[in-house]
Amino acid sequence: MHRRQFTLLALGLSAAPRLFAAPPAKRKHVVAFAQDTMSNDWRAAQVRDLQQALAKRPDIEFVFSDAGGDTARQVQDIENFAARGVDILITSPRDAELMREPIARVHRRGIPVILLSRRVSGEEFTHFVTADNRAIARQAAQYLARRLNGRGRILVLQHIPTSTPGQLRTEGFLDELKKHPGLEIAAIKRADSQRALAIQKIEEALAEKLPFDAIYAQSDSMALGAIMALKKAGRNVKDLPITGIDFISEARAAIRAGDLAASFTYPTFGREGAEAALKLIDGGKIATRERIVPSITVTRDNVERVEPIF
């Protein structure tokens, strides 16, 4: 997707004579979302959910940018939105540490900052909406421990390690594995929640003849990429427990087929972010600084009862 540019247009007076001056148009409130990348289906859905939720209000103008997975570009997008004087800034920071100060500067200017799914290292923001990534990671480790009967080697496909979900989904999993001495990590391969990168990393692992008995993919996109690569290599994925995170429609289909063992719901938080933005615009206060949205473990036992996030 091409990166969008948004400009404010100055309206000139009509040359036609008027008996009465038209009342000034009411200024719209601008809500801006500085997105990390639109090449990931989950992140594209996050923008869409925000857009749809805010579209119900004609007094709101929603704009977004696509940083293409580049931290420096995401910082530049944030600074550009702040310079334009947006009313609310929403973002999902790719790098928790490097983006701490740029986000803090926007917050100090009096522009409310809402963080979705990822937070920064500091505390200078207005509201944060997420799910419990550490708890999800622990549940994934527990699930694989049961499937492997407490013994085996697990290959980890890692989300962006500079982001808080990538950090917590790794830390929580490794912490839980300490309770299962028969389980060990075969390797941790960074695939940034990109399907194509996951395919590449699985092909790399197979070329290395890396032994593994299960895969913990920190997103469904990576899990689905792993399944594609394994099938291409002639591996029977039904005998290899693979877990993902998000529970998108393709994950539901893979669980139904027996290719994916489990997924953990991880909403886009777009609707929750829009709700917080509207409350602030309407002069209200957000009750809690952080909002934790519940996650559900989805397997073949309940796959028909849980709706995919998109």
Residues 67, 75: Cα–Cα separation, whole Å: 9
Residues 232, 203: Cα–Cα separation, whole Å: 9
The structure tokens listed for 96 are: 């928790």
Q: Tell me the pLDDT band of 22, cut-offs 50, 70 and 90.
A: very low
- Tens-digit pLDDT profile for residues 95-127: 999 999 999 999 999 999 999 999 999 999 999
CATH of domain 29-131+267-293: 3.40.50.2300
The answer on pLDDT for 11 being more than 70 is no
Instruction: Return the SS3 of 262.
Output: strand
Q: Other CB atoms closer than 10 Å to residue 175's CB: what's the count?
A: 13
Q: Three-class SS string for 110-136?
A: CCCEEEECCCCCCCCCCEEEECCHHHH
Q: Other CB atoms closer than 10 Å to residue 263's CB: what's the count?
A: 32
Nearest to 251 by CA among 214, 224, 215, 216: 224
Q: Which long-range contacts (CB under 8 A, 24 or more apart) does 69-78 make?
A: 69/36, 69/37, 69/39, 69/94, 69/192, 70/94, 71/95, 71/98, 71/99, 71/162, 74/34, 74/35, 74/36, 74/99, 75/99, 75/102, 77/34, 78/34, 78/102, 78/103, 78/106
Residue with tokens 């100090």: 108
- Across the chain, mean pLDDT equals 92
The answer on pLDDT for 50 being more than 90 is yes
- Tens-digit pLDDT profile for residues 239-250: 999 999 999 999
| pLDDT, mean of residues 211-224 | 98
Residues 263, 302: Cα–Cα separation, whole Å: 11
Q: Residue 121 burial by CB count (10 A; 0-12/13-18/19+): exposed, middle or buried?
A: middle
- Tens-digit pLDDT profile for residues 167-195: 999 999 999 999 999 999 999 999 999 99
Residues 115, 126: Cα–Cα separation, whole Å: 8
Q: Tell me the pLDDT band of 13, cut-offs 50, 70 and 90.
A: very low
The answer on pLDDT for 139 being more than 70 is yes
Residues 264, 251: Cα–Cα separation, whole Å: 10
Given a contact cutoff of 8 angstroms between Cβ atoms, the answer to whether 174 and 83 are in contact is no
Q: What's the whole-model pTM score?
A: 0.89
CATH topology identical between 29-131+267-293 and 133-264 = yes
Q: Tell me the pLDDT band of 27, cut-offs 50, 70 and 90.
A: confident
Task: Give the CATH class of 133-264.
Answer: alpha beta
Q: What is the pLDDT of residue 208?
A: 98
Residue type, 211: P
Which of 3-7, 80-84, 153-157, 159-163 shows the lowest per-residue confidence on average (mean pLDDT)? 3-7
The answer on pLDDT for 18 being more than 60 is no
The domain segmentation of the chain, as residue ranges, is 29-131+267-293, 133-264
| pLDDT, mean of residues 84-91 | 98
